[in-house]
Amino acid sequence: MMENFVVSARKYRPADFKSVVGQEHITTTLKNAIKNNHLAQAFLFCGPRGVGKTTCARILAKTINCENRQDDQEACGECESCVSFKNNSSFNIYELDAASNNSVDDIRNLVDQVRYAPQKGQYKVYIIDEVHMLSNQAFNAFLKTLEEPPKYAIFILATTEKHKIIPTILSRCQIFDFNRIQIDHISNHLKYIAEKESVDFEEEALRLIATKADGALRDALSIFDLIVTYSAGKKVTYHETIDNLHILDYDYYFKVVDALIEEDLSKVLLIFDEILKKGFDGHNFIVGLSEHFRDLLVAKDPATVELIQVSENAKQRYLQQTEAASTSFLLSALNIANQCDIHYKTAKNQRLHVELALMKMSKLPQAFKLANLAAEEAKKKA
Ligand SMILES: Nc1ncnc2c1ncn2[C@@H]1O[C@H](COP(=O)(O)OP(=O)(O)O)[C@@H](O)[C@H]1O
Ligand SMILES: [Mg+2]
Ligand SMILES: [Zn+2]
């Protein structure tokens, strides 16, 4: 397997609408437009990097040129046109990366191209990536073509920065907003690829990669490739993954909270010391701890437990730990962690700043016990 491992992002670029992950609102609309012959001539695809904009543009180009389109509005994948798309040899698709080709001349070239009708197939599709990077002059040179395009021309403009697109362009395009892709969807997709590539894995590891990718499927695939390469043909494990990505094992958060509940301040401080010695940053730690408190709070109620985005396995640990902690403790601790986070950058001694927060947290259980006692006493007297 390892010898011929190729970059997953390229190998697994979806070839049809139904393989695009997490953008159903877009693929369904496009398929309906094809079906009803209501295709716009200019589209604006907006959204973060690596979520399928270029992919969808290429699928659209391939599908509307397919000689044998299927009933579900997918390309057949086998006709002459589909094959030329697959081999990147179709003359009916033209891609311009405006990030590096943003001069008036580049656009004039494109506009010249648009004059020629396709020799084969029905449509010519022009994709202009990062269209917000076009110079003003280039924009103007393009505007007329965008306003009165020949019937066979379809423009797909893509951008990661919608706010930079001028109103003249916005008003002439059908706008599609691409989503960040959810952790669940990304990890399922990684699972699918790992199985196809016969790569062994722990689900926890894939989930971590999915989290790290922050909604971008392409990033998830490159991280996955990296970890597979490191693991040298062995299993992709959670531990390997946190090591390679330099992520703090969430086990530490469980340990810290256990020690806080036990009011064992020394243990808490020693764990924090260990974390710093491993080269982790105090600020990341306190942010991670805040998230951990949040997850514990969310795990308190069966109605919200689904809001913690972790594997089944990890969920059980949250459920256990939250049993052992009171809601008031978790809320107050979260509050202290949050204050620590807010003031971290201005603290002179940042280590002490975090330690102080941990000290306060470790006194919470006792404070709540005393408060409860006092309340009971008051009740007895009344
Ligand atoms: N929604 C998605 N479904 C499946 N794969 C995706 C998706 N988005 C991105 N990818 C993967 O990432 C690669 C790059 O995606 P691309 O469409 O070029 O992203 P964008 O144009 O939005 O930056 C694709 O080849 C594919 O492997
Ligand atoms: Mg792109
Ligand atoms: Zn076809």
Q: What CA–CA distance (Å, rounded) separates 149 from 246?
A: 51
**pLDDT attached to residue 1:** 44
pLDDT at 139: 86
Is 23-177 assigned to CATH 3.40.50.300? yes
The boundaries of every CATH 1.10.8.60 domain in the chain are 183-245
Q: Name the residues around ion ligand 3, CB cutoff 5 A.
A: 66, 68, 75-76, 79, 82
Q: How far is the CA of 152 from the centre of ligand 2 (A)?
A: 23
What's at 209, amino acid-wise? Answer: I
pLDDT attached to residue 285:
96
Asked if CATH classification 1.20.140.10 holds for the domain at 183-245, the reply, yes or no, is no
Task: Report the pocket of ligand 1 as residue ranges, CB < 6 Å.
Answer: 9-10, 12-14, 20-23, 49-55, 181, 217-218, 221
The tens place of each residue's pLDDT in the chain, 382 residues long, gives 444 556 688 889 999 999 999 999 999 999 999 999 999 999 999 999 999 999 999 999 999 999 999 999 999 999 999 999 999 999 999 999 999 988 899 999 999 999 999 998 899 999 999 999 988 889 888 998 999 999 999 999 999 999 999 888 899 999 999 999 999 999 999 999 999 999 999 999 999 999 999 899 999 999 999 999 888 778 999 999 998 888 899 899 999 999 999 999 999 999 999 999 999 999 999 999 999 999 999 999 988 988 887 777 788 899 999 999 999 999 999 999 999 999 999 999 999 999 999 999 999 999 988 888 888 999 888 7
Please tell me the predicted confidence (pLDDT) of residue 329: 96
The structure tokens 């620590």 sit at 340
CA of 338 to the centre of ligand 2 (A): 37
Dihedral-angle region of residue 37 (phi above 0 means left; psi in -120 to 50 means alpha; beta otherwise): left
CATH 1.20.272.10 domain position(s) in the chain:
251-381
- Which one of the ligands is nearest to 50 CA? 1
Q: Which residue ranges does the chain devote to CATH 3.40.50.300? A: 23-177
As assigned by CATH, the class of the 251-381 domain is mainly alpha
Q: Please state the φ and ψ torsions of residue 33, each to the nearest 5 degrees.
A: -65, -40
Pocket test for ligand 1, best of 51, 56, 178 (most atoms within 8 A of CB): 51
How far apart are alpha carbons 187 and 48 in whole angstroms? 18
Ligand 3 center from residue 365 Cα (angstroms): 67
pLDDT at 306: 84
Cα 239 to averaged position of ligand 3 atoms, centre (Å): 45
Q: At what angle do helices 183-196 and 203-212 cross, to 10 degrees?
A: 130
**Separation CA 63–CA 372 (nearest Å):** 68
Q: What is the per-residue pLDDT for 312?
A: 77
